[in-house]
Amino acid sequence: MLEKSLGRERSNSAVEFKVSIDEHADTYSVVAVRGEVDLHTAPKVQYAIERGAEGVEAVVLDMGAIAFMDSTALSTLMRAKESLENKGTSLRLTAPSKAVERIFVVTGFGDYFDIYPSREAAIPE
């Protein structure tokens, strides 16, 4: 069954939102996001990125399980990238889902970010 919400269709069986710091090494951390990233959940993603950035040179953001992403989420990622770069830390997006790829294509912001095909490819050597 589908319900209309904020002008878009969404499934009642939508993936539950979750963001976590999956790995924290000496030079990088991996932040994984699952579910819908929107006005309500984007601040949690931003907080996890900021926490993951503490003491590392790169934050790897695994986007493979994102079911939906809106312009608020895109804006959050842009601000996070700029903030991290000001501190000498890079934001590396990995394995974007179809939903993420779609918003990057529609907005043209795919070239703005460093995007890698997998976590492994994004981890600094």
Q: For residue 68, what is the domain's CATH number?
A: 3.30.750.24
CA distance 54 to 56: 6
Report the pLDDT value the prediction gives residue 125, as an integer from 0 to 100.
83
Closest CA to 61 of 74, 72, 70, 71: 74
Per the domain annotation, does 76 fall within a domain? yes
- Mean pLDDT, range 18-33, rounded to an integer: 94
Per the domain annotation, does 110 fall within a domain? yes
How many structural domains comprise the chain? 1
Per the domain annotation, does 57 fall within a domain? yes
Residue 56: Cβ within 10 Å count: 18
pLDDT at 14 over 90: no
Per the domain annotation, does 8 fall within a domain? no
Structural domain span for residue 68: 16-118
Per the domain annotation, does 1 fall within a domain? no
- Mean pLDDT, range 35-63, rounded to an integer: 96
